[in-house]
Structure formats: structure tokens, C-alpha cells
Amino acid sequence: MSAYMSIVKEAWNQTLLVAKFLCGLHFANTYLCTVGLAYGPSMLPTFNLTGDLFLAERLSPRFGKMRPGDIVLIRSPESPRKVIAKRLLGMEGDSVTYFVDPKNSTRSETVVIPEGHVWIEGDNIYLSRDSRKFGPVPYSLLEGKIFWKVWPPKEFGSMGRSNMKDPDL
């Protein structure tokens, strides 16, 4: 019977070890850093159509360390189950001027971003659903800041603020 108990005890210890690992992984993914996949045309040329793998840290939104020009993960205001990657272009109190129809750039509007909100846009303004369509987004929907591109290998590296529309930001 002691051999049987020894096997059960070892199996229990292994199960606890796996459970602790999975809890740690869940904690790290939820509160510290996550891996994501960006695909589609809205962030061209920053991200490819076929998909880029990236790392995003989750501390900046919690501590108010987001700045215009950052590429962010944000819970979609249109589809709450979806998380999207966009460029942060304005914070509360900022004025943002945008073209209502980028293909016909004769009509533009200026918006003052209300308190507790941000303005996001895709780098490809012709094929992006962003604040130009649904307005300012609540700051609470920000989930992280993308900081490192992992895939494709030829683009491996830091996701700085080099692709900004306005380099003075």
C-alpha cells in the first residue's frame, strides 16, 4: 500500500506544480505582458496583412504611462470580445483634426477629446475602423502597449514610435 500512496503523492505533487505554473502564466498574461497577433489592413505598414506576432506590456495603462504615438491594445468599443491594435493619437483634452472621408480629403472635423477618453487610429487611414468611425474611446478599454515585434523574423525588434503620423508628438 505504501508504493501506491507514494505514486499518488507524487502525482498530486506534479498536479500542484502544473497548477501553480498555469496560475503564474495566467497572472503574467493578464497583468504583466501578453503575446498577440495583429493582422489585417488597418495597421499597414506597421503590421502585415497576414499577421505579425508581438509582445505587449499591460502596466502602462494601469499607471497612466500611455502617450500619443504608442501602439496600443484596446478592447473594441464595437465588438467587446475583440481586442484590436491601433495607434494612440490623442489623450483627454487634446484636439484632433481628422478627415471624415480620407479618400475625399475636403471635409475635416476637429474634436476635443473628453475627460477619460483617448483617440485611436489605424496607420492605414483608408482601411481602418477607429475613432474616426466610433469617436473617442474610454481610457478603461486600453489593455496594453505593444513594445516588441516577434514575427516575422526580419522585423524582430522594438516597436518604437518611428511610424507616427506626426513626428512632433
Q: Which one is catalytic: 20, 42, 149, 154? A: 42
Taking 60 as the threshold, does the pLDDT of residue 22 lie above it? yes
CATH topology of domain 2-158: Umud Fragment, subunit A (2.10.109)
9 is catalytic: no
CA 54-59-34 angle, 5° bins:
30
Question: pLDDT of 32-85, one tens digit each?
Answer: 888 888 888 888 888 888 889 898 999 888 888 889 999 999 999 888 899 999
> What global pTM score does this model have?
0.76
DSSP run (H or E) holding 157: strand 157-158
CA distance linking residue 144 with residue 14, whole number of Å: 33
Q: Are 126 and 134 contacting, i.e. CB atoms less than 8 angstroms apart? A: no
Residue extents of the structural domains in the chain: 2-158
149 is catalytic: no
Question: pLDDT of 81-117, one tens digit each?
Answer: 999 999 999 999 888 888 877 777 777 888 899 999 9
Q: Which one is catalytic: 20, 76, 86, 140? A: 86
